Structure 1
Amino acid sequence: METSASQNGLQKSFNPGHLDRVIDRLSANKREWARLPVKQRLDLLQQVRAGVVETAQAWALLAVARKGLAVDSTLAGEEWMSGPWAMLTAIDILLRTLQRIDGHRYLNGVKVRRTANGQTAAKVFPLTVTDRLLLSGVSAEVWMEPDVSPETLRQSSAGSYSAERSSSEGRIALVLGAGNITSIAPLDALYKLYAENSVTVVKLNPVTDYLKPIFETIFKPLIDAGYFAIASGGVDVGIYLTTHPLVDTLHITGSSASHDAIIFGVGGDGADRKRQNRPLNNRPITSELGAVCPTIVAPGSWTKADLRFQAEHIATQKLHNSGFNCIAAQILILPRAWPLKDAFLEELRRAFARAPSRSLYYPGAQERLAGFLAENPDAIELGDAADATRIISYINLEAGEEPSSFSTEIFGPALGVVFVEGSDPASFLSNAIAFANDRLHGTLGANVIIDPASEKALGTNFELLLAELRYGCIAVNAWSGLGFLLGHTPWGAFPGHRLNDIQSGKGFVHNGFLFDRPQRSIVRAPFRPFPRGILHGSFALLPRPPWFVTNRTATATARKIVAFQASPSWLKLPGIFFSALRG
């Protein structure tokens, strides 16, 4: 039987018989998976982990080639870190949680506190000595919804592993994978399987379809057992699966336009349904849909080395993966009255210009950048003629019409810069946070850069200011992309978006501690790298991080980190430290 997607304006047709058989097999096993004892789930997860270890090199090298990078490029390290390492890290924290699930023992030893505004926060990273050594000075907390107290935190965790699981009939989840970061689809699938107890079918994005054989090897134990499946194809396959009568729930990582097409339909009827909030597809859906992400730089007394390092940091937030990240910095918010702003911007221009060459591999990038340049004719284009352009534009907030870069994700290497009033860190941060909350689209991630002296002077007021910043992940002297890499933290939009104004999405993934009601994550890193930080009183041992686009040994260090995560050994640590220090 041929099924056409012409009702959605598509001409392509396909044979759905194979997909029906896939879904039928999952349906036959959904009850069994939902009730499967934890020990058997752990055995399967260990086998999946072994598959990641087995395929890590092939996975990374395939991604490097498809993104137009040389194998020995320093940028190749991005694919090791955001692919196999992110997957291994998430699996390892999930294993730890499930091994101690009885009585919520996995929360034993986790530091829980009340924040300055009274919320409950759990410190989820670092957990181990090697955490403290490999990412020295990096920390992560999860802030819960306001009505979760320290006393009720355990009751608000791992609810899907309560006694009711033994009588569950199970569900089929469909995951629509992203095409940019290669671990997104498998990580989303893990969460649906192990946190939501759903047998799962992943529909790969055509951009990452080349990884299907890798993922089939990794998930083979779950595929063979009938708990998991992988599908590929175009929009027509996605439409067929999102409307399949046996599919119970949906998850998408992508754009809000794709989300709205799934839920409300397309064309004039879809627009009317969205306006009236009348879904065409009533399946429960979770989503991660990107954002116009801000980086806020608080004024302070910085050295020349500070200016250079933080300029490289912001260049990384924009240029990592050529800007094809839902969490890429898009709007840089600077204090207009900061005496060092011109010197900082000069360092930023240099960091953009010096960043290694790479291609614009993601479809539509040229058109999006052309649109940005048309709206910002005075923008600065950096990089050599043979390289993908990198763009910086200074945006006048006094101009009448709101620029589209405040409401539309560029998804490419273009950065807007705005200047906000505030004569001191407190007043500037208050104004910058209000600007980000009120004028920028989405709530996925925000970055705040502040020197230690300025933060210390603010005292608890700094945490109160952070509490006002409505984002699912806030990075302090770090990039919120680190919140994605750490499987310890939930990943998703700030809660509260309506279905017909979805912005950055709904729900969380990753979330290795299985918190039922997380509100946001706060990740932190040192303001200054080792060894320079020691001269300023910081004893963190983190040099220039391996995810920096300016790191000279990023690929070598990333490979060593993956090897360590795959098979931890104290004997491997000196090689990692030596490589990292040379970065």
Structure 2
Amino acid sequence: MTTAVKEIRFATEAQLDIAIKNLTNGIANWAKLDLQERIALLKKTHISIANASEDWAKAAISAKGTPKGSPEGEEWMSGPYATLSGITAVIESLEKLAKGKSPLDGIKASKAPNNRIKFKMLPSNFYEFNLFHGFRADLWLEPNISEAEARANAGLGAKRLGQNGGVGLVLGAGNISAIGPLDMLYELVAHNRATILKLNPTFASLLDVYKQAFSPLIEANLLRIVNGGAETGAYLTDHLDIKHIHITGSALTHDKIVWGSTTTKIGRPILNKPITSELGGVSPIIILPGKWSKADLRYQAENVVTQRTHNGGHNCIAGQAIILSKEWEQKDEFLAIVLEELEKASKRPIWYPGSEAKLAAAQIAYPNAKRRNDTMLIEINEQTSKELFTTEYFAPVLGHIALDGTGISFFRNAVDFANNELDGSLGASIIVSPHDLKSMGSAFENSLADLRYGTIGINVWSAIGFLIPSLSWGAFAGNTLENVGSGIGIVHNSHLVERTERSVIWGPFRPFPRSFINGEIAFSPKPAWFVTARSAKDTAQKLTQFSIKPSVTKMLKIFVDAFRA
């Protein structure tokens, strides 16, 4: 890391007390605002974020030491772009409510397995149809909820004008710069809570740019942003005037806050207030066997490697366990290409604190791992350690295991394995060709319904759900304080829908063929989040400008860059 965290000044206890007092007054005023006044404040904030977007991206790039060029696009997309999109989507829902409509007005519903309904969240307009051509995304609700009930109840805190949710603490993530701001936004709109956002020390240097971006909410006493270490976090979690906590981080940190211990979880928690969380886990990449072309093998290998090495591998939603069929004739060929792509990606720095130690631990557990600089490819079988299935490495460590079966029988085996053998339930990805998908018919979606993950990507990395504000983001429901897994509760959910269960994103198995490179077909456009997308920075910058003020002209410029990928 390039940031000297020790030079960052932390807030004192007296300053924290004043901040919480101001927020208490601010949320009381928020409770008095009507929807139009709330919309006006959020629009003002949108403009402020837009004005700070370049400084924001540059600050995140500096904090991580991101290499110059295409990798810089990751910081644009996972910072200002994601936040601008989130605020725009929330404003649209509030505007519907202000007109007496449901936030789900105009959103199509259809049936999902086992008496569920799902709402088609992507594409929802002309721009999304073109920018996300070939992609679609659905928000699934819990079983036994009718469409009429879902539409009538959508709105959450935005329907409860006058409600004062008090002051909440958001313990921000240290890897993706939009996480804390989007968590804060959901606290405000969905729960009518003001937020004191404590930055992770890795993002301590972003304090000033965050203050610039969110100045309207700070001036309205709805947000305070502070730096601090473990002592600051402990003071805030114990503060009598903090009514709720939301954390993005590790289960160990969660348990320390809730139980005062990372091992003993019996009796009553020491925490005396509600807590929600997003805690990561071991994300599977299920690959259904099929007959793929050389170009398909290469493209999907890039897809898999992106899921592991994006952001240097420091993502809670990073793919870590590839699940393959023993009977797939192309398995070895595919893994060889994955190794080639890992070698290309190995030039990225390992920047997140503690990741080098985790790499070393993985090397000890798997001495036969294939290592390319700071990336590792590990075969898991009956003779090896199973540590990879229960340890979130948060580093570029990628494992693979082979199970019995083909077609739907393999998929069912893979679903059972992912549910029962892997730690966590935040996100899962599936790769399947159109031919094989068609051959499974309705059995595929029926088995998909059994896959207990909060976000599922089919031919697309599940992390893309983070960039689609209308989807829910969080672990699959059912975790407890004693067994927290990937966390409790959701965020984002810009249509403010009650009783969401999961988000499902579909992408194209292959994009358009463009040209031949070294005797192989090259596909274009590669998604801007691919680590192999050469124009990722330019595309992400233009996407950010588009999210500030959409236009056909801006959209066409995005296409020009994307087709250079």
Rounded to whole Å, the distance in 2 between the matches of 1:313 and 1:81 is 17
Hey, what does 2:266 align to over in structure 1?
275
Q: Among 33, 47, 50, which residue is 1:50 paired with?
A: 47
Q: Among 478, 486, 509, which residue is 2:491 paired with?
A: 509
The alignment's TM-score, normalised by the length of structure 2, stands at 0.94
Does residue 1:449 correspond to 2:392, yes or no? no
Q: Could you tell me which amino acid in structure 2 is paired with residue 483 of structure 1?
A: G
Matches within 5 A, 1:474-553: 474-531=456-513, 543-553=525-535
Rounded to whole Å, the distance in 2 between the matches of 1:89 and 1:118 is 32
Rounded to whole Å, the distance in 2 between the matches of 1:342 and 1:493 is 32
Q: Among 155, 160, 163, which residue is 1:158 paired with?
A: 155
Rounded to whole Å, the distance in 1 between the matches of 2:29 and 2:232 is 27
Q: Among 312, 315, 336, which residue is 1:346 paired with?
A: 336
CA contact (8 A) 1:78 1:321 kept: yes
**Partner-residue secondary structure (3-state), 2:281:** coil
Q: Could you tell me which amino acid in structure 2 is paired with residue 77 of structure 1?
A: G
**Matched residues, number:** 549
Hey, what does 1:259 align to over in structure 2?
254
Q: Could you tell me which amino acid in structure 2 is paired with residue 379 of structure 1?
A: A
**Partner-residue secondary structure (3-state), 1:107:** coil
**Partner-residue secondary structure (3-state), 1:462:** helix
Deviations 1:505-536 (A, max 9, x none): 01001111101110000011100012469xxx
Hey, what does 1:391 align to over in structure 2?
376
Hey, what does 2:369 align to over in structure 1?
379
CA contact (8 A) 1:74 1:554 kept: yes
Superposed CA RMSD: 1.7
CA contact (8 A) 2:11 2:226 kept: no
Q: Could you tell me which amino acid in structure 2 is paired with residue 415 of structure 1?
A: L
Matches within 5 A, 1:149-548: 149-162=146-159, 164-166=160-162, 168-266=163-261, 271-272=263-264, 274-276=265-267, 278-355=268-345, 357-383=347-373, 389-396=374-381, 398-399=382-383, 403-422=386-405, 424-531=406-513, 543-548=525-530
Rounded to whole Å, the distance in 1 between the matches of 2:108 and 2:11 is 53
Q: Could you tell me which amino acid in structure 2 is paired with residue 506 of structure 1?
A: I
Q: Could you tell me which amino acid in structure 2 is paired with residue 355 of structure 1?
A: A
Rounded to whole Å, the distance in 2 between the matches of 1:108 and 1:542 is 35
Rounded to whole Å, the distance in 1 between the matches of 2:538 and 2:28 is 45
Deviation at 1:65, TM superposition (A): 2.2
Rounded to whole Å, the distance in 2 between the matches of 1:560 and 1:210 is 25
Does residue 1:77 correspond to 2:73, yes or no? yes
| Pair 1:433–1:287, CA change in 2 (3 A) | same
Q: Could you tell me which amino acid in structure 2 is paired with residue 463 of structure 1?
A: E
Deviation at 1:55, TM superposition (A): 1.1
**Partner-residue secondary structure (3-state), 1:516:** coil
**Partner-residue secondary structure (3-state), 1:99:** helix
Q: Could you tell me which amino acid in structure 2 is paired with residue 567 of structure 1?
A: K
Deviation at 1:66, TM superposition (A): 2.2
**Partner-residue secondary structure (3-state), 1:101:** helix
**Partner-residue secondary structure (3-state), 1:457:** helix
Rounded to whole Å, the distance in 1 between the matches of 2:33 and 2:551 is 33
Deviation at 1:93, TM superposition (A): 0.8
**Partner-residue secondary structure (3-state), 1:344:** helix
**Partner-residue secondary structure (3-state), 2:537:** helix
Deviations 1:230-281 (A, max 9, x none): 1111010000000100000010000011111111113xxx744x133x1111
CA contact (8 A) 2:103 2:151 kept: no
Rounded to whole Å, the distance in 1 between the matches of 2:435 and 2:10 is 62
Q: Could you tell me which amino acid in structure 1 is paired with residue 201 of structure 2?
A: P
Deviation at 1:13, TM superposition (A): 11
Rounded to whole Å, the distance in 1 between the matches of 2:10 and 2:54 is 36
CA contact (8 A) 1:156 1:517 kept: no
CA contact (8 A) 2:102 2:151 kept: no
Deviation at 1:356, TM superposition (A): 6.5
Does residue 1:136 correspond to 2:133, yes or no? yes
Hey, what does 2:520 align to over in structure 1?
none
CA contact (8 A) 1:421 1:431 kept: yes
**Partner-residue secondary structure (3-state), 2:285:** strand
CA contact (8 A) 2:321 2:400 kept: yes
Q: Among 546, 552, 555, which residue is 1:570 paired with?
A: 552
| Pair 1:207–1:339, CA change in 2 (3 A) | same
Deviation at 1:357, TM superposition (A): 2.1
Deviation at 1:180, TM superposition (A): 0.1
Deviations 1:54-110 (A, max 9, x none): 111111112122222233x21111111111111111111111111111433432221
Hey, what does 1:115 align to over in structure 2?
112
Hey, what does 1:24 align to over in structure 2?
21
Q: Which blocks of at least 5 consecutive residues in structure 1 are unaligned?
A: 1-11, 384-388, 534-540
Hey, what does 1:4 align to over in structure 2?
none
CA contact (8 A) 1:67 1:361 kept: yes
Deviation at 1:298, TM superposition (A): 0.2
**Partner-residue secondary structure (3-state), 1:287:** strand
**Partner-residue secondary structure (3-state), 2:321:** strand
Rounded to whole Å, the distance in 2 between the matches of 1:95 and 1:542 is 33
Rounded to whole Å, the distance in 2 between the matches of 1:85 and 1:564 is 9
Deviations 1:287-306 (A, max 9, x none): 00001000000011111100
Hey, what does 1:96 align to over in structure 2?
92
Hey, what does 1:34 align to over in structure 2?
31
Larger mean Cα displacement after TM superposition, 116-125 or 325-334: 116-125
Larger mean Cα displacement after TM superposition, 567-576 or 304-313: 567-576
Deviations 1:478-511 (A, max 9, x none): 0011001111111000000011100000100111
Deviation at 1:474, TM superposition (A): 0.4
**Partner-residue secondary structure (3-state), 1:505:** coil
Hey, what does 1:581 align to over in structure 2?
563
Rounded to whole Å, the distance in 1 between the matches of 2:42 and 2:478 is 32
Rounded to whole Å, the distance in 1 between the matches of 2:531 and 2:284 is 19
Does residue 1:68 correspond to 2:50, yes or no? no
Deviation at 1:185, TM superposition (A): 0.5
The alignment's TM-score, normalised by the length of structure 1, stands at 0.92
Rounded to whole Å, the distance in 1 between the matches of 2:127 and 2:188 is 28
Q: Which blocks of at least 5 consecutive residues in structure 2 are unaligned?
A: 1-8, 516-522
Rounded to whole Å, the distance in 1 between the matches of 2:364 and 2:355 is 14
| Pair 1:118–1:441, CA change in 2 (3 A) | same
Deviation at 1:571, TM superposition (A): 1.5
Rounded to whole Å, the distance in 1 between the matches of 2:456 and 2:35 is 33
Rounded to whole Å, the distance in 2 between the matches of 1:35 and 1:263 is 33
Deviation at 1:330, TM superposition (A): 0.8
Hey, what does 2:518 align to over in structure 1?
none
Identity of aligned residues (%): 41
CA contact (8 A) 1:394 1:418 kept: yes
Rounded to whole Å, the distance in 2 between the matches of 1:118 and 1:542 is 39
Q: Could you tell me which amino acid in structure 2 is paired with residue 495 of structure 1?
A: A
**Partner-residue secondary structure (3-state), 1:165:** coil
